Amino acid sequence: AGFERRRPARKPFPEHLPRERVVIEAPAACYCCGSDRIVKMGEDITETLEVIPRQWKVIQTVREKFTCRQCEKISQPPAPFHPTP
Which value, to the nearest 10 degrees, does the dihedral of the CA atoms of residues 51, 65, 31, 5 take? 80
Question: pTM of this prediction?
Answer: 0.51
Q: What is the pLDDT of residues 54-76, one digit of tens each?
A: 888 888 889 888 888 888 888 88
Q: 16 falls in which pLDDT band (50, 70, 90)?
A: very high
